[in-house]
Amino acid sequence: MVPLEYYLALSAVLFCIGVLGVVIRRNAIVLFLCIELMLNAVNLTLIAFGRYLNSIEGQVLVFIVMTVAAAEVAVGLGIIVAIFRGRESVNVDDINLLKG
């Protein structure tokens, strides 16, 4: 058996890479990619715990998270396409109409 800590460490690393990506990258699509990465890191954590605690809840939660992720991607990509149609760029720095 691979020790639990290995799985958790991998998850943590993946999550941090995802967070960094969200904060640093400018392209909206890459932003979404990183968000997916974060979600999948969480999925990994959930599966790992499910395996090591011999409970099925982990896998059920993963189901739910994946569904939500899929829905969110669909909506988000739709928004990005709409924005792209308007301004020919998916640079998030340019989307500042909410500027106060």
Partner 1 sequence: MFPNYEWLLLLFPLVGVIINGLFGHRLGRRLVAWIACLAVGLSFVVALSLLWAQVQLPAEAEPVKATLYRWMTVGDFTIDLTLLIDPLSVLMAVVVTGVSTVIHVYSVGYMADDKRYSRYFTFLNLFVFSMLVLVLGNNFLMMYVGWEAVGLCSYLLIGFWFERPAAADAGKKAFLVNRIGDFGFALGIMLVFATFGSLDFSTVFSQASALLPRGSELATTMTLLLFLGAVGKSAQIPLYVWLPDAMEGPTPVSALIHAATMVTAGVYMVARNHVLFERAPGAMNVVMLIGLATAFFAATMALTQYDIKRVLAYSTISQLGYMFVAVGVGAYAAGMFHLTTHAFFKALLFLGAGSVMHALSGELDIRKMGGLKDKLPTTYWTFVVGALALAGFPLFSGFFSKDEILWEAWLKAGPIVWVVGLGTAFLTAFYTFRLVFMAFWGKSRLDKKAAAHVHESPPVMTAPLVILAVFAGIAGFVGLPGGLSLIGRFLEPALTTPGVHHAAPVGSTLEWILLVVSAVVSVLGIYLAYHLYVLNPELPKKLSAQFGWLYNLLVRKYYVDEAYMEVIVKPTRELGGFLASDVDRGLIDGIVNGVGRVTAGLAPLFGGMQAGLVREYAFSILIGAAAILGYLILR
From 16-24, 47-55, 61-69, 75-83, span contacting partner 1 (CB under 8 A): 16-24
Count of chain residues binding partner 1 (CB under 8 A): 13
- DSSP assignment of 9-64 equals HHHHHHHHHHHHHHHH--BHHHHHHHHHHHHHHHHHHHHHHHHHTT-SHHHHHHHH
* Closer residue to partner 1 in complex, CB, 26/63: 26
Q: Is residue 99 close enough to count as binding partner 1 by CB under 8 A? A: yes
CA distances from 70 to 11, 81, 90 (A): 20, 17, 21
Q: Is residue 73 close enough to count as binding partner 1 by CB under 8 A? A: no
Q: Is residue 92 close enough to count as binding partner 1 by CB under 8 A? A: yes
Q: Tell me which residues touch partner 1 (CB under 8 A).
A: 19, 22-24, 26, 92-93, 95-100
